[in-house]
Amino acid sequence: MLGQTRWGTVTCACETQAREAEEKAKQAREWLTLCHEFTSRDKLISKADLDPNTKRAGSANAMRIAYNFVDTYIQWQREKPGLGLYLNGPNGLGKTYILSGIYKALMGRNISAVFMTTYHMFQRFREVAKVDDYDYEKRLLKVLYGCDVLLLDDIGGEVPYDSRAEKLLDVINARSQKRPIIYSSNFTTDGLEQWMGNQGARIADRILENSITITLQGESLRGGINDRHHDWLAGRVKGLG
């Protein structure tokens, strides 16, 4: 070259392919790690498991649908891109349990998922605004817009300032008809519309467009858990009246 002899390494095609595959796998691992980093890990129910054969009245349908969502995720997205679920109902029926189960099952299949309480999501937006940390904000938005499945726990459980509702609307819009959101809430979509103030109607309308609403019914499971605390205590402290 230009009158000089130059030596260089020649890489065969298969070696290049292997290197590219390795690089892709590394990026995929990093992406899953980032999603896990933004997950409200302390709010996940770690024992949660999706059991399609559950007989628990009032929540069995929700559990079976959640199982189907994960089990046939690729097909589900091909046929209904961006279609998620809106699980609603009173306290203690297993909504967070189901969202946790979906999160664990998806991540176990290398499908990028983020589980966040809505309160936590708003808190992160607030932190970002306070310190003007653009890099952090970029990563937060990348995760909220881009993860395969966003699990938003307890929507409506936070104080609904309009500026917060706008952030939520923005995330919903970014994912609409592309990547699903799975919500849990104590509100029906009508109730949420009232609760969310000026943006309520826009939010509820888009939730209806992008998700299947499932209402859980029954008595809080926490009552039974409390009974077991009493049984345990009775085993330790004899002769309680």
Ligand X SMILES: Nc1ncnc2c1ncn2[C@@H]1O[C@H](COP(=O)(O)OP(=O)(O)OP(=O)(O)O)[C@@H](O)[C@H]1O
Q: Residue numbers of the site for ligand X (CB under 6 A)?
A: 45, 91-97, 154, 184, 186, 221-222, 225
Contact 199, 167 (CB under 8 A): no
Identify which of 172, 179, 160 has the alpha carbon closest to the alpha carbon of residue 80: 179
Closest CB to Mg ion among residues 107, 155: 155
In the complex, minimum distance from the CB of residue 86 to ligand X, in angstroms, rounded to a whole number: 13
Closest CB to ligand X among residues 47, 130: 47
The C-alpha atoms of residue 72 and residue 143 are separated, in whole angstroms, by 23
Tell me the per-residue interface mask from 149 to 168 with Mg ion, x by CB under 5 A, - otherwise.
Answer: --------------------
Residue 146 binds which entry of ligand X, Mg ion, none, CB below 5-8 Å type-dependent: none
In the complex, minimum distance from the CB of residue 128 to ligand X, in angstroms, rounded to a whole number: 26
Contacts of 184 (CB under 8 A, 6+ apart): 87, 88, 95, 96, 98, 99, 152, 153, 154, 155
In the complex, minimum distance from the CB of residue 226 to Mg ion, in angstroms, rounded to a whole number: 17
Closest CB to ligand X among residues 95, 124: 95
Residue 222 binds which entry of Mg ion, ligand X, none, CB below 5-8 Å type-dependent: ligand X
In the complex, minimum distance from the CB of residue 114 to ligand X, in angstroms, rounded to a whole number: 17
Question: Which residue among 96, 100, 210, 211 contacts Mg ion (CB under 5 A)?
Answer: 96
Contacts of 85 (CB under 8 A, 6+ apart): 62, 65, 66, 69, 180, 182, 183, 211, 212, 213, 214
In the complex, minimum distance from the CB of residue 47 to Mg ion, in angstroms, rounded to a whole number: 15
Residue 174 binds which entry of ligand X, Mg ion, none, CB below 5-8 Å type-dependent: none
Closest CB to ligand X among residues 77, 117: 117
Angle, helix 118-131 to helix 162-175, in steps of 10 degrees? 110
In the complex, minimum distance from the CB of residue 20 to Mg ion, in angstroms, rounded to a whole number: 43
3-state secondary structure of 8: coil
Q: Which two tokens stand for residue 122?
A: 């708003």
The C-alpha atoms of residue 122 and residue 120 are separated, in whole angstroms, by 5
Interface positions with Mg ion (CB under 5 A): 95-96
